[in-house]
Structure 1
Amino acid sequence: MSEVAMVLIGGLFVLLLLGVPIAFTLGILTAVGIWMADFNPMILAQRLVAGSNISSLLAIPGFILAGDLMSAGGLSRRLVRIASVCFGHLTGGLSMATVAAGTFFGAISGSAPATTAAVGSVMIDEMEKRGYSRGYAAGLATSIGPLGQMIPPSIPMIIWGVLAEQSISKLFLAGVVPGLIAAAGFCVVGYLYARRLGIPKEARASFGQLGAAFRDGLWALLAPVVILGGIYGGIFSPTEAAFVGALYSLIIGLFVYKDLNWRTLGPLFIQSMRTTTVIMFIIVVAYGFAWIIASEQIPTQISSALLSITDNPFLILLLLNIMLLVLGAFMDTVSAMVILSGVLTAVGAQVGLDPIQLGAMVVINFAVGMVTPPLGYSLFVASSISGLSIETVSRHLWPFLLVLIALVGLIAYVPAITLWLPGLVG
């Protein structure tokens, strides 16, 4: 391994351990690597511009804005109400309603923290009132966050599609079945929890209550139909769908539900712009870092080292998933995917892994990282909403983490879970 490669890898670990923000870490190391490799310094500026000049990345601000508008515009609250009247009468029904609401909102926002925030802000207090412990409710709200990264549209799927040069539409479809499996697993956990503690069932909703909830939430239910139907109906691209979703949410929030008003839009747009700026800043500098490590052939060397341990595809996949789960707990999803994309695609090609299956596996591994300490963003959101410490929420996460880890194993070793739907749709 070259001197430049050793400095880049060693510097990455040192700066992260020192607590330097990931974007600055990657920017510093990219500049150092270009200087040590004696490249023209202008390459740094060129790589940064190239990292921002990718049209598919325009979908990210669109979906972030759409998620924020749906939360503030009352769409998420109405989705929660529909889920409650449908599942509340079952054993563990309020848990199931929370999962269902998270699944619906995940089909709109594309973001794990946004899904946790939108559903958890409504359901944590409600579950505590009905006999669930606040820690369990916060743990469940944390765990449904990754559904926002599995159920399309998914912001990390967009980023991986750009990095690996794969079809974003196919990656979206690859996340549907895993998302539904995770949702079903969370419902089973909720059923067992409620049964063990003897939490009473809610009264079955009357036809009138069901009708009222669906009438009130009709426009919210139509949001994923508009967004995903437009993509797979060939009406617009995933990038265009993001802004169609934002416009739809704006119109419904302002003129139908009227939970939005013109005074609240300014702060809401600023909030979305801040989130977008953070993500795009990381992508831009990580793009430059990915270029310098590729020029030093680090991905090839790491994949060769991994393959030298064993040539058994089963063990290679096991090691790969363990590595992704560990890194997901310590690194930001966006920067981790950009840094590792070259390594992961090289290893995937060596073991004959389908690129769409690989993309789904990577994204869902890092989705698990969203709920695990120390850098689980959904965990931070749930802790803030519930008023509980990170440690308290983490203690209630383990049954949901088991579901997610089992799902990761299924995705790695049962290709049909991620490839059946993309193949069916064609």
Structure 2
Amino acid sequence: MSAAAWILSAGFAGLLVIGMPFAFALGLTTLAALIVSDIDMIALAQKMISGSQSFSLLAIPFFVLAGDLMTAGGLSRRLVAFANTLVRHVTGGLGMVAVIAAVFFAAISGSAPATTAAIGAIMIPEMERRGYDRAFATALAIAAGIIGPLIPPSIPFVIWGVIAEQSIARLFLAGVIPGFLLAVGLMALCWLYARRHRIERESRAGGREILAAAWDGKWALGAPVLILGGIYGGVFTPTEAAVVGAAYALIVGLLVHREFTVRELPRITLQALRTTAIVMFIITAAAGFGWLVAFEQLPPKIANLLTGLSDANWVVLMVINALLLVIGAVMDNVAAMVILGGVLVNAGNQMGLDPIHLGAIVTTNLTIGMATPPFGYALFVGAAVSGLSVGRISKALWPMLVVMGLVLLAVTYIPFVSLAFQGLL
């Protein structure tokens, strides 16, 4: 390999090992590789700017803002209250409430950290009060949180759609069944946990109580219908849907529920801007890095190496899954997507994989990484919400990681799981 290729691989890995933030590690290794390749360093700035100019990326700040506004406006609390009336009487019902509420919230925010924070802040104290271990409750909030990037709309699917030049609407559909499979698996774990620890069931909600909770949460329940119905009804694009969702959350929180005021808007907006800035900084830095990786012809070389391991696609897919799971556990999923995008697209083409199926495999892998020790983003959000150490949460998280692994195997080896709804478009 050339000196630049060594810098982009070993140099980048070394900076991560010593604890340098992803975006800075990407930028510094790209600069160093440009210098040894005798390429004008202005190329990095140009590639960073061009990497942020996709119209589809506008969906990210608006979905983040929509999630923050809905949390501040009380929509997440109402979703939890409605879910509670549906399943609280079942063994493990309170844990199932967290999962069902996460599914509803996922259909609004598209973000694992946002879903974990919104559901965890409400459900962790309540579950602990009802006899659940705080570590289990936190692990459940984290595991349920990663339903956010699977069920549409999804920020990671937006990013992968831009990288792989695939339809974002079709990618959204690819996440529906995986998201619901994960939800069902987590609810089964809640049932088993409650039976093992003899958690008492609550009284069944009556019809009037269910209707009252549904009426109180009608604006929250209407958000997914508006966003997803608009996308698949052809009314607006996924990017425009993000803007509509943010506007909807603003109007409901400010004028209908009145749970925040105009004075609080700068704080909520600044919070969303911080999250967006982190994501976009990684995307732009990774764009320059990814361009130089492509310039060095690394993606086709690595793709040939992967596909040359075996003539059987299932073996190659197993290797890719193992690689992505390890990378997802130590690297931000956005950076991983941009860096490995060329390699994975090349490998998928050589194996004859449907590009939407490949997108579902990649996104599911890296989404699981957000909940995986040691560096999962959602894991740190759960630790911040609960006040527990990452180590203690990780011990309670392993059964949920097993469920995630089973869902990943289904996504990888049963194309129907990700392609079942493609006929709708």
TM over 0.5: yes
- Which residues in structure 2 correspond to 1:254-293 (within 5 Å)? 254-293=254-293
CA distance in 2, matches of 1:45, 1:329: 29
Partner in structure 1 of residue 106 of structure 2: 106
Name the residue aligned to 1:80.
80
The aligned counterpart of 2:121 is 121
Does residue 188 (structure 1) correspond to residue 170 (structure 2)? The answer is no
Distance 2:98 2:238 in 1: 27
Q: CA deviation at 1:29?
A: 1.4
1:18-417 map, 5 Å: 18-417=18-417
* Cα deviation code 1:161-198 (max 9, x no counterpart): 00000000000000000000000000111111111222
Give the deviation of 1:40 after TM superposition: 3.0
Deviation at 1:64, TM superposition (A): 0.4
- Which amino acid in the other structure matches residue 361 of structure 2? M
Cα root mean square deviation, aligned: 0.9
Rounded Cα–Cα distance in structure 2 between residues aligned with 1:144 and 1:112: 8
Name 1:425's counterpart in structure 2: 424
**Cα separation, 2, equivalents of 1:94 and 1:156:** 29
In the alignment, what sits opposite 1:16?
A: 16
Aligned-partner Cα distance in 1 for 2:41–2:209: 66
- Per-residue CA deviation, residues 46-88 of structure 1 (Å, 9 max, x unaligned), is 2111111111100000000000000111000000000001110
Deviation (angstroms), 1:208: 2.1
Alpha-carbon shift at residue 200 of structure 1 (Å)? 1.1
What is the identity, as a one-letter code, of the residue corresponding to 2:164? A
CA offsets 1:332-390 (integer angstroms, 9 cap, x no match): 01001000000011111111111101111111111111111111111111111112111
Deviation at 1:304, TM superposition (A): 1.5
Note the C-alpha offset of 1:310.
1.9
Paired AA for residue 193 in structure 1: Y
Larger displacement relative to structure 2 (299-308 or 211-220): 299-308
SS in 1 for 2:375: coil
- In 1, are the aligned partners of 2:369 and 2:376 still within 8 Å (CA)? yes
The answer to whether the 8 A contact 2:72-2:259 is kept is: yes
Q: For this pair of structures, how many residues does the alignment match?
A: 425
Q: Does the 8 Å CA contact 2:3/2:33 hold for their aligned counterparts?
A: no
Cα distance, 1:309 vs. partner?
2.3
CA distance in 1, matches of 2:381, 2:24: 24
CA-to-partner distance for each residue in 1:107-147, whole Å, 9 max, x for gaps? 10110010000001001111111111111111100101110
Q: Tell me by how many angstroms 1:38 deviates.
A: 2.1
**1:183 aligned partner, one-letter code:** A
Distance of 2:330 and 2:414 partners within structure 1: 27
Distance in 2 (alpha carbons) for counterparts of 1:98 and 1:40: 52
- How far the C-alpha of 1:13 sits from its partner, in A, is 0.7
> Which AA in structure 1 matches 2:111?
S
The unaligned stretches of length 5 or more in structure 2 are none
SS of residue paired to 2:38: coil
Deviation, structure 1 residue 41: 2.9
SS of the residue 1:200 aligns to: coil
Query: What secondary structure does 1:147 align onto?
Result: coil
Q: Which one-letter code corresponds to 2:178 in the other structure? A: P
TM-score, reference length from structure 1: 0.98
What's the CA shift string for 1:405-424, capped at 9, x where partnerless?
011111111000001112x2
Q: CA deviation at 1:221?
A: 0.1
The alpha carbon displacement at 1:263 in A equals 1.6
Measured in 1, the distance between the counterparts of 2:3 and 2:376 equals: 33
User: Structure 1 residue 35: deviation in Å?
Assistant: 2.1
Write the distance in 2 (CA, Å) between the matches of 1:394 and 1:185. 18
Matched AA of 1:56: S
In the TM superposition, structure 1's runs of 4+ consecutive aligned residues that sit over 3 Å from their partners are none
**Cα drift, residue 285 of structure 1:** 1.0
TM-score normalised over the length of structure 2: 0.99
State which drifts further: 240-249 or 122-131. 122-131
AA in 2 matched with 1:425? L
Return the offset for 1:45: 2.1
Q: Report Cα offsets for 1:193-234 as digits up to 9, x if no partner.
A: 111222111101122211211110000000011111111111
Q: After the TM superposition, which of the residue ranges 122-131 and 171-180 deviates more from structure 2?
A: 122-131
Shift of residue 3, structure 1, vs aligned partner = 2.4
Distance 2:194 2:28 in 1: 51
User: 1:344 corresponds to which letter in structure 2?
Assistant: L
Q: Which amino acid aligns with 2:257?
A: Y
| Deviation sequence 1:312-340 (CA, Å, 0-9, x none) | 21110000000000000000010010000
